Amino acid sequence: MNNFADLVQKAFYMGVGLASYAGERATTTMTELRQNAQKLADELVERGEMTTEEARQFVEDIVNRAQQEQAKEDAKKEPRSEPRRIEILDDEEPTPSASSGNAQEEPEDIDHLRQEVERLQAELRNLRQE
């Protein structure tokens, strides 16, 4: 049981680490985008093709568009609040490869598996409450 708790804890920490890394990476990407847009705008101002005010607005527009696109992508990837539920149905017939040849053992195996699933679900609920 302790191994399961350790596994859940490690998975949680891995998720937090990935989220942190993604946030850092997004910040770096936006900073790079702003710098590149500023360089382009500065070159256009030097050539006389754009005023300083137009260059400032140009950079802000590019950064705002990138942030809006990123927000749209993040909304599409919205995570589920709960794991997907799995149902065990009684009306399925066992496959020939799965049957052991003894019909008396199969219902016991199914009952045992159901009890194990229920025990694991209860353990998961307890871990969520802690």
Task: Indicate yes or no: pTM above 0.85.
Answer: no
User: What pLDDT digit, counting tens, does each position of 13-45 carry?
Assistant: 777 777 777 777 777 777 888 888 888 888 888
**Domain assignments of the chain as residue spans, ordered by start:** 2-76, 83-130
User: What pLDDT digit, counting tens, does each position of 52-63 carry?
Assistant: 888 888 888 888
User: What pLDDT digit, counting tens, does each position of 43-98 carry?
Assistant: 888 888 888 888 888 888 888 888 888 777 776 766 656 666 777 666 555 555 44
Q: What are the b/e assignments for 12-21, b being 16+ CB within 10 Å? A: eeeeeeeeee
Predicted local confidence at residue 99, as pLDDT: 47
Predicted local confidence at residue 98, as pLDDT: 47
pLDDT for residue 103 is more than 50: no
* CA dist., res. 114 & res. 111, Å (int): 5
CB 117 within 8 A of CB 87: no
